[in-house]
Structure 1
Amino acid sequence: MKQQLKAALLISGSVLVSSSAFAEDGKINFTGEILDAACTVDIGAGNTMSVDLGKINKSAIATSGATSSPTDFSLTLTDCPAAITSAAIKFDGTAFNGDNSVLALTEGTTELPSATGVGIQILDDEDTVVALDAPSKDYTLKADVDNDLKFSARYIAKSDTVVAGTANSAVSFTVNYN
């Protein structure tokens, strides 16, 4: 009798596990395409660019939300195939306290501590803030020309108390072709 009870429990437990394995609340379809050829990214030696945001007096960004003047930069795409007509740029970096519209500053050193209460914003060519980890607007691309995708960057105060220091950061980017 005990053996039959154990067998019944084992079978009913297997049925419950297998039925829950097939339950679904939704479905996600992943789509995309692997390109045979894409544009060449031309931003400098080693595909690394430096953008100098300058030396800003903390009084110029003394209240939360205040920004410095933007500094322009371009990402150049060359040798684009005719089949690729547009692209968006996705910037990946560390967000300022969870705000993905502001890039956090990198830590300074004991001798040169980093500024606090301030981060960096990236803007597209229409002065719209580009969120981190999300694609920018689409930029039109043409074959056989240098396609300059124009952006700018600026400091933004995230506090009413900005403390002076180094104000550096880094971001990587990915070109998303359309």
Structure 2
Amino acid sequence: MNKVTLGLFTAVALGCSASVFAATNGEGQINFTGEIIDSACQVVNDLGSPLNVALGKVSKTVFTGAGSASTLTKFTISLTNCPQTVTSASINFGGTPDNDNNAALALTPGADAATGVAIQLVDSTAQPISLFTPSKAYPLTSGTTVNALDFGARYIQTKAAVTAGPANSVSTFTVIYN
């Protein structure tokens, strides 16, 4: 082989390896993991029989500034008939977020609806739960035992002024098995 042919061969080989390097610089990898389980727990308060939580009548004088809150009202989400392969679950609450506090539920709009407040959800230790963020994990017992997942709700002030009126909202929830 002459020097010119060897030089061209070397240049082509280096060019190919450089283009392979350049082609791989923008690539990555995603590994998906999960598990198919036997069955899920039965949600006692499903869409057909929703849980109704009465927050009561709260005087607007309770609110002293943005972030102040009313008294907590506790509620329980019940799961039963859990398979043995499922040992804990978290709850992911959904709904329309408040414009001024997107971690809290917006009130159902209406001409006479209250303003300046939203509904804050908390876990069993009274730690706030942001919408669309899983709660802490609650341990589950398999079989026909009713698993009580305790939560709470309260009004939280989101604006400088609060006006009186109906203060209702709706939240969906998804059970996330751990």
TM-score scaled to structure 2, two decimals? Answer: 0.80
State whether structure 2 residue 59 is matched by structure 1 residue 57: yes
C-alpha distance in 1 between matches for 2:89 and 2:125: 16
Q: Structure 1 residues 22 and 105 mapped into 2: Cα distance closer, same or farther (>3 Å)?
A: farther
Equivalent positions of 1:10-49 (< 5 A) are: 24=26, 26-43=28-45, 46-49=48-51
User: Helix, strand or coil: the match of 1:56?
Assistant: coil
State the Cα deviation string for residues 14-67 of structure 1 (Å, max 9, x = none).
xxxxxx998635433333223221110112781311100001010111311110
> Aligned pair 1:136/2:138, yes or no?
no
Q: What runs of 5+ residues in structure 1 fail to find an aligned partner?
A: 1-19
Contact 1:105 1:167 in 2 (8 A): yes
Distance 1:53 1:38 in 2: 30
Give the secondary-structure state (helix, strand or coil) at the position aligned to 2:61.
helix
Gaps of 5+ in 2: 1-21
Distance 2:128 2:51 in 1: 20
Q: Distance in 1 between matches of 2:83 and 2:98?
A: 37
Aligned length: 157
1:67 maps onto 2:66 in alignment = no
Aligned equivalents of 2:114, 2:120: Cα separation in 1: 15
Q: Counterparts of 1:148 and 1:36 in 2: how far apart (Å)?
A: 21
Task: Indicate if the aligned counterparts of 1:62 and 1:162 stay in contact, CA closer than 8 A.
Answer: no
In 1, the alpha carbon distance for the partners of 2:24 and 2:165 equals 56
- In structure 2, relative to structure 1, the CA distance for the partners of 1:35 and 1:21 (3 Å cut) is farther
Residue 158 of structure 2 aligns with an amino acid whose one-letter code is K
Query: What's the TM-score once normalised by structure 1's chain length?
Result: 0.80
2:149 maps to which residue?
Answer: 149
Using the alignment, how far apart are the partners of 2:50 and 2:140 within structure 1?
A: 22
CA distance in 1, matches of 2:28, 2:62: 50
Shift of 1:82: 1.2
Partner of 1:175: 175
| Percentage of identical aligned residues | 46
Question: Are 2:116 and 1:117 aligned?
Answer: yes
Cα distance in structure 1, aligned partners of 2:115 and 2:69: 14
Change (3 A) 1:23 1:99: farther
Contact 1:41 1:47 in 2 (8 A): no
Q: CA RMSD in A?
A: 2.1
Amino acid at match of 1:135: P
